[in-house]
């Protein structure tokens, strides 16, 4: 399972880095040779600056979804949805439209997409969550509902090729759930143990 975490200026650090570290723990040990995880940006960039100021190195540009090196799973972090006057945020990316357009192309190409926090709102902007079961950060639930998604009260919502999570730290639960779904519960449990993390909250499974 090749995983790309698509980052942008203003993404929330833990939204993106939490799932990245969960996947890398799995790929490094249990699921060796089973995958890799990268940070990618829409356009070629050296670094992005996250919402709390962390500068994060970028591993490459997001490939075309039909390219040979396209990921099997695209992770979309949120960040700064309510910071409407910030130029670097999920909200700003939604207004610009290029990232939502890329997400729509990924969805049309049947690539599995997982969002953390207000990453779901970028998917909503892309039309990906329309009529689908989904969740987002508590502060954006009303907007997600108004966008046409079927909001589910859970920490992680599995809707098949669309998996969404609640706010910030729920990205850790999302990634552990995806390990369980793809590699089995023992892999997820082992990584949670190393992280000294107690998985919590409901996972709403496929309908």
Interface residue list for a copy of itself (CB under 8 A) = 12-14, 17-18, 20-21, 24-25, 28, 39, 47, 49, 52-57, 137-138, 155, 166-170, 172, 193-198, 200
* DSSP per-residue string spanning 66-128: TSTT--SEEEE----TT-TT-SSSHHHHHHH-HHHHHHHHHHHTT-EEEE-TTHHHHHHHTTT
Q: What's the min distance (Å) between Cβ of 68 and a copy of itself?
A: 22
Token reading at 80: 């700064």
Q: Which is nearer to a copy of itself, 35 or 167 (CB)?
A: 167
- Rounded Cα distance between 159 and 11, Å, is 24
- Minimum CB separation of residue 171 from a copy of itself in Å reads 10
Nearer to a copy of itself, 110 or 196 (CB): 196
Distance CA 197, CA 12 (A): 20
Query: Which is nearer to a copy of itself, 2 or 54 (by Cβ)?
Result: 54
* Rounded-to-integer distance, Cα 53 and Cα 108, Å: 33
Q: How far is the CB of 127 from a copy of itself (least distance, A)?
A: 25
* CA count, 13 A, side-chain hemisphere, 135: 25
Contact assessment for residue 179 and residue 3, using Cβ atoms and an 8 Å cutoff:
no
What does the alpha-carbon distance between residue 22 and residue 177 come to, in Å, rounded to a whole number? 10
Shortest spacing between CB 66 and a copy of itself, in angstroms:
26
Instruction: Please answer whether residues 72 and 161 qualify as being in contact, where contact means their C-beta atoms are separated by less than 8 angstroms.
Output: no
Query: Between residues 12 and 107, which has the closer beta carbon with respect to a copy of itself?
Result: 12
d(CA 117, CA 82): 12
- Output 18 or 119, the one with its CB closest to a copy of itself: 18
DSSP 164: E
Tell me the closest approach of the beta carbon of residue 62 to a copy of itself, in angstroms: 17
Between 133 and 155, whose beta carbon lies closer to a copy of itself?
A: 155
């Amino acid at each position: 399972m090749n995983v790309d975490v698509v980052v942008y200026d203003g993404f929330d650090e833990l939204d993106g880095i939490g799932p990245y570290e969960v996947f890398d723990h799995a790929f490094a040990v249990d699921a060796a040779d089973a995958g890799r995880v990268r940070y990618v940006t829409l356009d070629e960039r050296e670094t992005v600056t996250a919402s709390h100021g962390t500068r994060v190195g970028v591993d490459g540009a997001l490939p075309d979804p039909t390219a040979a090196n396209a990921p099997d799973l695209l992770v979309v972090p949120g960040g700064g949805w309510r910071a409407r006057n910030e130029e670097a945020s999920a909200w700003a990316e939604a207004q610009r439209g290029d990232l939502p357009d890329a997400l729509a192309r990924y969805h049309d190409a049947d690539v599995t997409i997982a969002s953390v926090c207000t990453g779901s709102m970028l998917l909503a902007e892309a039309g990906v969550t329309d009529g689908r079961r989904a969740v987002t950060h508590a502060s954006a639930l009303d907007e997600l509902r108004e966008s046409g998604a079927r909001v589910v009260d859970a920490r992680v919502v599995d809707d098949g090729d669309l998996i969404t999570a609640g706010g910030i730290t729920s990205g850790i639960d999302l990634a552990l759930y995806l390990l369980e779904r793809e590699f089995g519960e023992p892999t997820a449990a082992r990584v949670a143990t190393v992280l000294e993390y107690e998985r919590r909250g409901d996972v709403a499974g496929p309908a």
